[in-house]
Amino acid sequence: MDLIHFCTRLSSACGSSEEIKAVRPLEDEIVVSLSPASLLQTVRTLREEFAATFVDLFGLDQRPSQDAFQLHLIFALDNEQSRVHLVIDLDTERPAFPSLMHDLPATDWYEREVWEEPGIQPEGHPLLRRLRLPPDWPQGIYPHRSSFAWSQNVQAAEPHHIQLESAPEGVVDYPLGPVRSGVVESGHYTLRTVGEELVDMHLQLFYKHRGIEKRAEGLPLPLLPLLAERISGASAFAHSLALCQALESIAEVEVPQRALYLRTLLAELERLYNHLGYQADLCQATGLVVAQAQFDIWKERILRLNAAISGHRYLFGMNVPGGLSRDLSEASLDMVRGLTATLQPDLESLGKLLFDSPSHRDRLEGTGILTPQDALAYCAVGPIGRASGVDRDLRRDHPYAAYADIDFEVPVLQTGDALARARVRLEEAKQSLRIIDQALERLAAGSIAVPIEQLPAGESALSLVESPRGESVHWLLVGEDGRIRRYRARPASFANWQAFPLAVPGHNILTDFPVIEQSFGLSFAGADC
Amino acid sequence: MVFSWIRRGLRTGVLTTRYPAVQERLPEAFRGKPIMDASRCIAEQGCNACVQVCLPDALSLQTVVESAGNEATQLVLDYARCVACGLCVSACPQQALRMTNEYELAASRREDLRMVTLFAPPDTSDGENGKEENNGRYA
Amino acid sequence: MADMLDSATREAGERLKTKVQRLFGHSLHIRHVDAGSCNACESEIKLLLNPYYDIQRLGIFFTTSPRHADLLLVTGPVTRAMVDPLRQTYEAMPDPRLVVAVGACACSGGIFGPSAFSQGGVEHVLPVDVFIPGCPPSPLTLIHGLLLALGRVEQRMQGHTRRIKMGRPLSVITPSMQEKEAQS
């Protein structure tokens, strides 16, 4: 990465060299401090000249240590395997920045979030409405400001629900949720139909906002992974891995080789049970009951393997800052080998049988198409993005743990329909088996953790991990007391839910909706956080 | 096509557990329920290692004043809050806490999930003092 | 095992049994509501229908309508936004109805506790008949809990207060929860 060229190009794009205040190259990360005035132009330059992909946007209240609010933007430079981190200091009296929505529709939810939680104004945002905070949250109370305490008593205000404009003649609105059919997570959909055809939908999430980012503030080090795991239980290992990697980066420790390979192995086990459970859920939506049972059986087998090797069915408690909390014995590794040996041929035959079943295939083909243009505009990540032509996978583009040393393919399809999403996940499950085999082969003896005692005050670190649903971002800032000052967690589902309503209209009928929803396979808990 | 699925299903055989007719055993490593041997506990000497690492505050330590007017140290293990993370087991310097793979944890009253241990000062009224009461028995 | 339970627990068990005997011949229809869980509890609940556990063999089914439900299964610490939907679901259920809290979050708020964002457990919103601890409780734990709600298994958990008399006076005042809060 030619740093000089990068800085020159950025400064000239902003028109004045003073607007870029500082550039600090870290390992794989370039931190650029700039003023709000040069934000739009900088973002344009990054996207057009450097092919940067938008990753995250969040706010921070620096007070009382410094009298300022800060806005953070993160972009990924996949070609360079590095990240660009923009830090913008904002005025304390009126913290504001120019909205990026016109260029980048994906920043919609992020800007609404910084508007309501730290209270930073995105100027020019077309539709500022509540996002995460519940309807009875009073105005003027900002949870991400330093003055707000986790256990503070917040009096309920008059509930303020979002009102949709009423449907015109001949159009019917179906409200579904937040308590929905089946054992599913809580969230609300309003489906708008003309006859049988779906013409629009409105998505109302954030019924499950528990305030995890705020909970992390001031917690002692060993307790942080417990919090990260419970952002979304099905991606527990991925989230705790991202958190621990960020802490290890801050503490500048090197995790032992054995731990890196074991982390890779466990992360892939998590991806496997998620992808197999996903196929089961999709078969439930299309009514292929025997297939659902077959995939559920495999999911249960992997969960039982997890319990036998780690003590927890969902791999909670494995990641600690500095490595792993426990080693995997030879007996455990043999169990893993045994499982992958039986799963590999079975997955081939199951997959073939599944996509050759006309009843299943018919319902998936051409349903819920997310076009490649929409996927790019809304920065869809993970298998959903890859089914719509977005060729990005953090394990390959920004390798972490032991992925840099392992061979695997990243399946990408262009059609963007439900069939593509199901195929991509099945292929990824097969690749996961390949990765697990290689990790087992290359596993050497050694320690599994290095101790981390103290965190240096004022330091921060970013960590990106490919969870089963896609790119998950974790960022930590250490306060003056060595405890966490600000925790930012952006699970993959938060990014992907924004793209979901775009896949619903367009030759889909009402009964296609469960298939579309299950084909995305997104997590509400991850988005609501 | 439908016969292929039926064949697969039949080939899989019967996997269903016979619980509760037959007791199932979970793997040894499974984190089900932590138990405590109060005779090893040194909370009354000022140790609160387990309390410090308990995120859901399942373990808590208070000084209570009993009806007789004397002070006692109360250690509470509240299973309704416990997430079975096992951090307390590693943190205890006396190995007073142990993780088991028990899974029949449901209760109809909230109080049935609270295990309270009172470290009371010596009492001349009923003879026996010291920690013999609970020696070696995890509960 | 039954004789080890104290009288209060036995009474509660009897009350539960009477309630349940009014239910039709021991089969059960469950309505689940997610009040803010991390999804691990839901995953375990869904697995109850898989061939390994197959709760339908025990006469337990899931229903989508609260009007047809006998038991309300709640996961999550009850976030602010879910308080009303949860109450409305409970009120839509006809008597006799049971409420079961699944997981540490539903039993007590778990790692979230009572806070500005959630209620700290289902019992702050609805009367709970059975608490099933765990994070998440495994399917076997769930089966035990559901059968306990039906009066078909015995309860194993028994709360207790144990007195350990010290051989010497307490010389140090032990730190209380308030001090621990202040330290963190």
Return residues 64-123 of B near C (CB < 8 Å): 71-73, 78-85, 102-123
Query: If 0-12 CB within 10 Å is exposed, 13-18 middle and 19+ buried, where does residue A40 land?
Result: middle
Residue C23: the pLDDT is 55
The answer to whether residue A67 scores a pLDDT higher than 80 is no
Mean pLDDT, range A223-249, rounded to an integer: 95
Biggest CA–CA distance in chain C, Å, is 61
pLDDT tier for residue B128 given thresholds of 50, 70 and 90: very low
**Contacts with C89 (C-beta within 8 Å, 6 or more apart), sequence order:** A179, C31, C33, C66, C72
pLDDT in tens, A297-353: 999 999 999 999 999 999 999 999 999 999 999 999 999 999 999 999 999 999 999
Q: Which amino acid is at B49?
A: A
Q: What is the pLDDT of residue B134?
A: 47
Spatial contact of B98 and C148, defined as CB atoms under 8 Å apart? no
Q: What is the mean pLDDT of chain A?
A: 91
Closest residue on chain B to A316 (Cα): B85
Helix, strand or coil, per DSSP, at residue B98: strand
Segment among A230-234, A271-275, C20-24 with least mean pLDDT: C20-24
Chain C: partners with 3+ C-beta pairs within 8 Å: A, B
Give chain A's domains with CATH numbers: 3-123 (3.30.460.80), 212-323+330-528 (1.10.645.10)
A chain contacts of residue C56, beta-carbon cutoff 8 Å: none
What Cα–Cα distance (Å) separates residue A424 from each residue in A106, A273, A278? 23, 15, 12
DSSP calls for A167-216: P-TT-EEEEE-SS-SSS----EEEEEEETTEEEEEEEE--TT---HHHHT
A126 token code pair? 């077309």
**Which range, of A280-289, A405-414, B17-26, averages the lowest pLDDT?**
B17-26
- Give the strand pairing for A96-98 and A121-123: parallel
CB-CB neighbors (< 8 A) of B31 in chain C: none
pLDDT tens readout for residues A111-137: 999 999 999 999 999 988 889 999 999
Q: Which of A186, A231, A483, A487 to mutate to probe the C interface, most C CBs <10 Å?
A: A186
Alpha carbon separation from A323 to A239, A315, A343, A354, B41 (Å, rounded): 14, 14, 28, 39, 30
* Res C178: pLDDT: 39
- pLDDT on residue C11: 74
Long-range contacts of A436-439 (CB under 8 A, 24+ apart): A436/A265, A436/A268, A436/A269, A436/A272, A436/A336, A436/A340, A437/A340, A438/A406, A438/A407, A438/A408, A439/A261, A439/A262, A439/A264, A439/A265, A439/A268, A439/A402, A439/A406
CB contact under 8 A, B53 and A356: no
Give the relative orientation of helices A39-49 and A3-14 as an angle to the nearest 10 degrees.
130
The pairing of beta strand A172-176 with beta strand A460-467? unpaired
CB atoms < 10 A from the CB of C15, how many?
A: 12
Answer for the pair A367, A420: CB distance below 8 angstroms, yes or no: no
Q: Which two tokens stand for residue A465?
A: 């991990």
Contact indicator for A237, A443 with CB cutoff of 8 Å:
no
- Whether residue A232 is predicted with pLDDT greater than 90 in this model: the reply is yes
Write down the pLDDT at residue B38: 83
pLDDT category at A263 given cuts 50, 70, 90 is: very high
Phi, psi (5° rounding) for residue B118?
A: -105, 120
Sign of the alpha-carbon dihedral angle for C46, C49, C54, C59: positive
Mean pLDDT score of chain B: 84
Nearest-by-CA chain A residue for C138: A313
Per DSSP (E only), the strands in A300-454 are 319-320, 323-324
**Residue contact A150–C45, C-beta within 8 A:** no
Alpha-carbon gap, residue A393 to C174, rounded angstroms = 52
Which residue among A219, A222, A309 places its CB closest to the CB of B87? Answer: A222
For A373-385, the pLDDT digits (tens) are 999 999 999 999 9
For residue A376, give the nearest of A122, A47, A128 by alpha carbon. A47
Q: Which residue has the higher pLDDT, C15 or A147?
A: A147
Residue A10 has pLDDT above 70, yes or no: yes
Q: How far is C155 from chain A (nearest CA, A)?
A: 24
The pLDDT score that the predictor gives to residue B127 is 44
CB distance A294–B12 less than 8 Å?
A: yes
The CA-based dihedral angle spanning residues A463, A466, A470, A473, taken in that order and rounded to the nearest 10 degrees: -10
Q: Which of A219, A288, A311 sits opposite B29 (nearest CB)?
A: A311
pLDDT category of residue A163 using cuts at 50, 70 and 90: confident
- For the record, the structure tokens of A155 come out as 């009096």
Please check whether the domain covering C2-157 is classified as CATH 3.40.50.12280. yes
Q: Which residue has better confidence, A3 or A346? A: A346
**Tokens encoding B125:** 């009224």
Q: What is the pLDDT along chain C (184 residues), one digit of tens a residue?
A: 445 567 777 777 666 666 666 555 668 899 999 999 999 999 999 999 999 999 999 899 999 999 999 999 999 999 999 999 999 999 999 988 999 999 999 999 999 988 999 999 999 999 999 999 999 999 999 999 999 988 888 888 888 888 877 765 444 333 443 344 455 4
CA distance A212 to B44: 34
Q: Is the dihedral of CA B34, B39, B42, B45 positive or negative?
A: positive
Q: Quick: pLDDT tens for C41-58.
A: 999 999 999 999 999 998
pLDDT at A276: 96
Q: What percent of chain A has pLDDT over 90?
A: 73
pLDDT band at B120 (very low <50, low <70, confident <90, very high): confident
CATH class of B26-121: alpha beta
Of A209-213, A466-470, C6-10, C127-131, which gets the smallest average pLDDT?
C6-10
- Please name which of A503, A37, A483, A31 lies closest in space to residue A216, comparing C-alpha atoms: A483
Burial (Cβ within 10 Å: 0-12, 13-18, ≥19) of residue A454: exposed
Check residue C26 and give its pLDDT.
66
Judging contacts by C-beta atoms under 8 Å, the chain B residues touching residue C167 are 122, 129-131
Cα A384–Cα A387–Cα A392 angle in degrees, nearest 5 = 75
pTM: 0.92
Q: Is the pLDDT of residue B138 over 60?
A: no
Cβ-defined contact of B9 to A293 (cutoff 8 Å): yes
**CB-based contact A293 C43, cutoff 8 Å:** no
Q: Inter-chain contact C141–B104, Cβ cutoff 8 Å? A: yes
